[in-house]
Structure 1
Amino acid sequence: MKRIGLFVCWCGSNIGGVIDVPRVVQEAGNFPGVVYKTDYKYMCSEPGQDMIVQAIKEHKLDRVVVASCSPRLHEPTFRKAIARAGLNPYMFEMANIREQCSWVHPDDKETATQKAITLVKRALSKVSLVEPLYESYIPVTKRALVIGGGIAGMQVALDIADSGHEVILVEREPTIGGKMAMLDKTFPTLDCSA
């Protein structure tokens, strides 16, 4: 059985000044699999992160949802906190209730709250389906294959070689130069093109 933890942030008055945070925790927290739910003024702060770490350990959580601000801003913060607790950092989902609810409905507390509940339930549904991911690294051979020995091919081969990488230049004709080799002189210097 999945054991999901729900953490809803007030973000000071950014979220809490518009959204009824305790109601979001109560209504969304009844979602199947949620075994722990809470709210905190600043979930991204050190005490907020420590609260998440402690709850994962105490309640044996295997998935986490944080409803707060933009994932672009704090998703790495929460993934690191989850990893500190020994949980795979990809067993996590974030609901952006600041930008998508309180900031777009600042004068309509009921609409903002209902939308926040919906977004949090969506995040809970999604996190219930996630599977652990693991980082892997693939070795890269720093060698380039350039197909075509025309002007562009020769220039890119020279640029890559100048940056210290091996280059293999392949041309189907017996000589390089492409269309340039067909010209007698080049503009503006009238130098020989061959």
Structure 2
Amino acid sequence: MKRTGVFLCHCGTNIAAVVDVSRVAEEVKKMPTVAHVEENKYCCSEPGQEAIIRAIKEHKLDRVVVASCSPRMHEQTFQKALEKAGLNPYLLEMANVREHCSWVHAQEPEKATVKAIDLVRKAVAKTVRLQPLKEDYIGITKRALVIGGGIAGIQAAIDIADAGYEVYLVEREATIGGKMAMLDKTFPTLDCSA
């Protein structure tokens, strides 16, 4: 059985001034797989992260939902907290209740609260299917293949070579230069193109 921890952020008053966070917490406690629910003034702060780490260890959580701001802003922050707690960082799901609830429904607190409950419910449901991932690194060979020996291809090959990389230039014709090789003079100086 999965053990999901849900952390509800007040975001100072960004969320809590509109969304009834305590009501969201009460509804979340009823959800299957939820083993722990906690409110925090600022989940992204050092004390907030420490609370998440502590709860993961104390309640043997194997999934985490953070209901706060945009994942774009703090997903990596919370992934690092999970990692510090010994949990795979990809077993995190975020519910964006700041931008999607409190900000867009600032004049409708009931609507914002109901929507926050729904977003958290969906995040909790998604955590059941999350799989631990691992980062892997693949070595690269610092070489380049430039296809086409026209002016652009030649310049690209020169630039890459000047940067210190090995370059292979491939041209289907017998000579390089592309259309430029067909001209005898170039504009505006009428210099020889060859």
Same fold (TM over 0.5): yes
Give per-residue Cα distances to partners, 1:53-92, cap 9 Å, x unaligned.
0110011100000001111111111111110000000000
1:114-172 C-alpha deviation (Å, 9 max, x unpaired): 00000001111111110001001111111111111111111111111111111100112
Is it true that 1:148 corresponds to 2:119 in the alignment?
Answer: no
Instruction: Could you tell me which runs of 5 or more consecutive residues in structure 2 were left unpaired when the two chains were aligned.
Output: none
Q: Partners of 1:189 and 1:152 in 2: how far apart?
A: 20
Q: Which amino acid aligns with 2:25?
A: V
**Match of 2:44, SS?**
coil
Q: What does 1:180-191 correspond to in 2, within 5 Å?
A: 180-191=180-191
User: Corresponding residue for 1:161?
Assistant: 161
What corresponds to 2:18 in structure 1?
18
Given the alignment of the two structures, is residue 55 of structure 1 paired with residue 55 of structure 2, yes or no?
yes
Q: Bigger shift: 49-58 or 184-193?
A: 184-193
Rounded to whole Å, the distance in 2 between the matches of 1:56 and 1:184 is 74
TM-score (norm 1): 0.97
Aligned partner of 1:117 in structure 2 is: 117
Aligned residues: 194
C-alpha distance in structure 2 between counterparts of 1:94 and 1:28, whole Å: 14
Cα distance, 1:28 vs structure 2: 2.1
Q: Percent identity?
A: 67
Q: Is the 8 A contact 2:28 2:37 kept in 1?
A: no
The separation in 2 between residues aligned to 1:135 and 1:168, in whole angstroms, is 31
Give the aligned residue type for 1:18. V
Q: How do residues 11-90 of structure 1 correspond to structure 2 at under 5 angstroms?
A: 11-90=11-90
SS in 1 for 2:121: helix
Amino acid of the structure 1 residue aligned with 2:46: E
Deviation, structure 1 residue 183 = 0.9
Please say if residues 105 and 112 of structure 2, whose CA atoms lie closer than 8 Å, have aligned partners that are also in contact: yes
Per-residue deviation, 1:113: 0.1
Partners of 1:46 and 1:4 lie apart in 2 by 21
- In structure 2, distance between residues paired with 1:128 and 1:23: 23
Q: Is the 8 Å Cα contact of residues 146 and 169 (structure 2) preserved in structure 1?
A: yes
Cα distance in 2 for residues equivalent to 1:174 and 1:70: 56
TM-score, L = length of structure 2: 0.97
Q: Paired residue for 1:193?
A: 193
Which segments of structure 1 move beyond 6 Å, counting only runs of 4 or more?
A: none
